[in-house]
Structure formats: C-alpha cells, structure tokens
Structure 1
Amino acid sequence: MPTPLYKRIFIYLAALLVAISILAPLLWLFLMSVSSAKDLTQIPLHWFPKHWDFSRYKVLLTLAPNSPGSLFLKAMFNSLITATGATLISLLLAIPAAYSFSRFPGRQSWLMASLGMYMVPPVAFILPMYFILQRLGLLNTHWGLILVYCSLILPFLTWMIKNQFDEMPQDIEQAAQLDGLATHAILIKITLPLAKPALGAASLFGWLLAWDEFFYALLFTNNADAKTLPVAIADFMAGRATDDGLIAATGILASVIPLVIAIALQKTLVQGLTDGGTKG
C-alpha cells in the first residue's frame, strides 16, 4: 500500500528539520573560522564575513615550533593513537565477553555490575586511577590514556555486541557444534562474520567515545607528549586574548577524521544499527 502524500511530506519535513539542526551549528562554526575578529565582534552581527580569511587553517596545519599548529597536530595524533588503541583492545576483550554473556546463561549479574560501574560518575575514579597510573609510570603517556579509555569503552562495547549476539539465530552454531567444532572456532568462523556490521557500528561508537573524552585526558596529561585534542582546544581558550575564529577552525578540523570514518563505514553503520534493532 503506497504511503499517503501527507505522510511523505511530513517525513521529508522532519528529515529536513533534523538535517538543519545538525548542519546549522557546523555552518556557523565554519563562518566563524573564516571571519575576521572585527566581523565576529561587530554589532549588529554579520552572518557572512565581508572578507573571507582562511589563514587560521594555514596556521593550524603548520608545524613551526611552539606554534598553535604544532600543538594542534600533535594533539590530533595523540587522540588518534589513544582512541584507536583503546577501541581495538576493548573490541578484542568485548567480543569473547559478549559471546559468553549471550550463549551461557547465569552470568547476567556480571554484565549488570559492569554496566552499573559504567554509570558511576567519572570523578569517583580519579584518585584510584591516578595512583595506579603513577605507580605504573603511565601518567602523561599514550598507554595510560588507552588503559583509562578501555575502562570506559569495554562495558559499552560488551553490551552492544551482546545484544547483537542475542538476536542472531543459533541453528548454524548448533550444527557446527554437532560436527565437533570448538566454541572458540564457532565464534571466529561463524558468529563473527555474521556479526560484522554490528561490530563496525559498535567500534565506531566506542572510538567516538574515546575521541571526544575530555575529563580524564585533562587530569592525566600535562604536556604535548600525550595531550589529546579536546584538551588542546581548551588550551586555546585559556589565554587572555582568545581568538574565537581559531577555536572555530580547530573544531572544523577536529571533525574531519570522524566524518571520514563515518562516511567510510556508512553502510556498515546503518546495517549494524538496523540489525541490532530487529529480531533475527
């Protein structure tokens, strides 16, 4: 039965409203990044700059010593290393954990306990984490942040992947088990290929969680060796004379890598979310 015209109009209008609400802040951020300081402080405000200035992007992409660009690019590299490393380690641990929770009943209390710990405010873990990292010599290092981020990402990934495993039909696994295939072989050869879209979607959300994290990165890093992008952007706002256009340019450039990854994984993301929301 074809969809009535008024319903289609409503759907398109709702989609347009969502698109505007997402793209409008990004458009304004871009306009700020190419506007002069005079345009940004002028009253009444001009929505479009009189003179388009892209010099801030050049500054941020320059590796001159002690320049904003060197701090920005180093922080972007640190964020890329820590977010990717934490996501890969968490994924390797979350897959067998999720499979165990899904296929072997009686262990749900452990999953609920981990999710309960995940909901505790991060400030409650500052002191024990700080002392552990200090004792291990991992303060202000990539590995220190990776371990901290794993504590954030691992319960989230386990929960998402476990839900996907629950929705998958188990007939093929049972047949393989009757043929003598071991549990770990069933997981690797049968279950994981079927759950590939869900793994991609979960990995992307976990990676974004680490990429945007600010609180722990602020406390456990103190120089450019491990400082991540959210902390570096905050440093640009700490001076007495703040360049709002430069901060806007950092926001635009900081969104490039997540945008590229999301576009590359678009099909996997949509399929993973769709499969996770329907019964198998």
Structure 2
Amino acid sequence: MNKKLKHVLKRTGLYALVLLIVVYVLAPYLWMVISSISTKVDLMEVPLKFIPRHPTLQNYKDMLLGTSNSTTDAASQFMHAMKNSAIVTVCVTAVSMAVGILASYAFSRFRFRFKQQTFMAILFTQMIPPIAIIIPLYMIMLRAKLLDNIWALTVVYLSFVLPFVIWIMKGYIDGIPTELEESAMIDGCGRLRSFFLIVLPVASTGLAATTIFAFIISWNEFFYALNFTSLAAKTLPVLITEFSSKYGADYILTCTSGVIASLPPVLLALIFQKYIIAGLTSGAVKG
C-alpha cells in the first residue's frame, strides 16, 4: 500500500470518526428542537416523523408569556426563573473574574508565606464532591435564614467558580514572561499599571475563555439550586425538571424550555469560539 493511499484512508477514517461524534453530540439537541416545535399528535404518530407535519411556535409563545394550559404551573414561572438565572450567573461571573484574576496574578508573581499550601487548598475545593457538603451547607443556610435567597445562592456558586477561575488564570499568567512587566516598570509603570496594560492584554484569549467557562458553569448549575431554592430564587435548570404532574410529563414544554435555556451558553460559545479555541491552545506551543 503506497503512502498516498494510506494517507487517504487515514483521513477518511478520521473524518468518519468526527462525523460520528458530531452526530452523537448534536442528535439529542436536534431532537429536542424538533420536539419543541411539534404538537402532541406529531410526537405520538406511528411511525414517528422526524419532521413534524404541523410545526408551530405556539409552545415558545406559551412559555415566554406563561399562558400554557399544562397540568403544572411551571410555564408561568419560566420568566421568573430565567431572570434569577441571569442575575446569579452575571454576578457570579463578574465577581469571580474580578477577584480571580487578581488572586491568580498574586499566586503567579508574588512570594509570600504559605503560598503553595494556600493554592493547594484552593485546588482541593475542586475535588470535594457537592454531595459530601450539601448537608452542612444546608444546615448553615437554614439557621442563617438564607434558603431560597438569590444572593445566598450567588455566594454558594462563587465557592466553586472562583477556585476554577484562579486555577485556570494562574496557568495563563505563568506563561507570560516577567520580562514584559519588568520592561514596563523600568519605563515608569507601577506594578498595578503594568498588570492592566501588559498582563491583561497578553492574557486576553485566556481571559475570554475563562469568562465563558465561568458563565456556562454558573448557568448550568443544578444540584445546589435544587436543594437551596424553592420558588423565589428558583433557577432554570431546576424549573425544567418540573414540567410533570400526576398525569405525566409534558415532554413538549420540557423540550421547549430546554431549548430556550440552552440558547445563552450555546450562542456565547458560537460567537466567541475563536477565543475559546485560542485560550485552550495558547499554552500548547512555547515561543
């Protein structure tokens, strides 16, 4: 077998594998979108049609306006839950990035006592499974009367998003030569000014990628929101599980709410995909 044929076969196999992975990843989401524009008659039709006979956007209208005649009142709470998710996610992302960038810079550039131990303690928080600390956290929030409170939920989210940001951003800052800052400081820049004028622009790809990941982690969090909220601070991931009653699950509204809830992270990833890719690969090549 000559080299050209071997190369063609290898590329064909690679493309076939990529296509299989794409279908495996996108097929469930595509079916969710199809279900969201279908009627119950379409979904119960035998044999099942992948393209509904009577596609409709009424499900989205009912969801956004809260006018659905479903057996549950989850649809009427949808906009309230989306507002809660937006507030918590934006606050968590903003605070974790503002604090995390400064903390990661300190861990990367400064020397202080117990530096390594402190950083290891931060990483250790990422290794603790949520199920192991949910009971003590619940008891603390119960006694402090912070259950079903949107700001308390924000603090809980910060406890795992902030360590993630510090860990990731420290890796990016470690890859920036200190000579750049030293040159700036020789020219009269202070430490803080060189940080904003030199470090942040150079680490912009990593900064963008970390911000997007922090947003997605906060937006998709389910476990803590399920246990610490009931109505006032309920978020979208929790609400999506409530489109069911004693009469059964409403799969159409579940899919509709799932599509709407997935739009912010999906659009964010598509719009800033070049920053995500650049951020993930920025440390792959040393120059």
Task: Give the TM-score normalised by the residue count of structure 2.
Answer: 0.86
Q: What residue in structure 2 maps to residue 96 of structure 1?
A: 102
Q: What code does the residue aligned with 2:163 have?
A: P
CA deviation map 1:71-90 (0-9, x unaligned): 11211111111011111111
2:113 corresponds to 1:113: no
User: Structure 1 residue 136: deviation in Å?
Assistant: 4.9
Structure 2 partner of 1:9: 12
Residue in 2 that maps onto 1:59:
62
Which residue identity lines up with residue 233 of structure 1 in the other structure? I
Alpha-carbon distance, 1:137 to partner: 4.4
Q: CA deviation at 1:138?
A: 3.3
Partner of 2:23: 20
Tell me, yes or no, if structure 1 residue 228 matches structure 2 residue 235.
yes
Question: 1:237 and 1:86 mapped to 2: Cα distance?
Answer: 30
Quote the Cα distance in structure 2 between the aligned partners of 1:257 and 1:34: 19
- 2:147 alignment counterpart: 139
RMSD (Å), alpha carbons: 2.5
Structure 2 match to 1:254: 261
Q: Which residue of 2 aligns with 1:272?
A: 279
User: Could you tell me how far apart the structure 2 residues matched to 1:142 and 1:252 are?
Assistant: 24
Q: 1:33 aligns with which of 16, 32, 36?
A: 36
Instruction: Classify 1:77/1:10 alpha carbon distance in 2 versus 1 (closer, same or farther; 3 Å).
Output: same
What is the SS of the residue equivalent to 1:255? helix
Distance of 1:209 and 1:264 partners within structure 2:
17
Report the alpha carbon displacement of residue 122 of structure 1 after superposing the two structures with TM.
Answer: 0.9
Return the offset for 1:197: 1.1
Mapped partners of 1:67, 1:238: distance in 2:
10
Distance between the aligned counterparts of 1:238 and 1:214, measured in 2? 20
Q: Distance in 1 between matches of 2:246 and 2:161?
A: 33
After superposition, the C-alpha distances for 1:218-262 in whole angstroms (9 at most, x for unaligned) are: 111111x21000110011135533111111111111111112212
SS at match of 2:241: helix
Q: How does 1:167-178 map to 2 (within 5 A)?
A: 167-178=175-186
Q: Mark the runs of 5 or more structure 2 residues left unpaired by the alignment.
A: none
d(CA) in 1 for partners of 2:127 and 2:63?
36
The answer to whether structure 1 residue 74 and structure 2 residue 80 are counterparts is yes
Asked if 1:86 is matched to 2:92, the reply is yes
CA contact (8 A) 1:198 1:276 kept: no
2:166 is aligned with what amino acid?
A: T
Q: Which runs of 5+ in 1 are unaligned?
A: none
Task: Note if contact 1:60-1:68 (Cα within 8 Å) is conserved in structure 2.
Answer: no
Q: Offset of 1:97 from its aligned partner?
A: 1.3
Query: Whole-Å Cα distance in 1 between the matches of residues 120 and 285 of structure 2?
Result: 22
Q: How many residues align?
A: 278
1:126 aligns with 2:129: no
Q: State the one-letter code of the partner of 1:243.
A: D
CA distance, structure 1, for counterparts of residue 165 and residue 20 of structure 2? 31
Distance, in Å, in 1 between the alignment partners of 2:257 and 2:99 is 33
After TM superposition, the structure 1 stretch with the greater mean CA deviation from structure 2, 28-37 or 198-207, is 28-37
Question: Residue in 2 aligned with 1:237?
Answer: 244
Aligned-partner Cα distance in 1 for 2:35–2:234 = 25
- Secondary structure of the 1:61 match is helix
Q: Does 1:49 align with 2:52?
A: yes
Q: Does 1:199 align with 2:202?
A: no
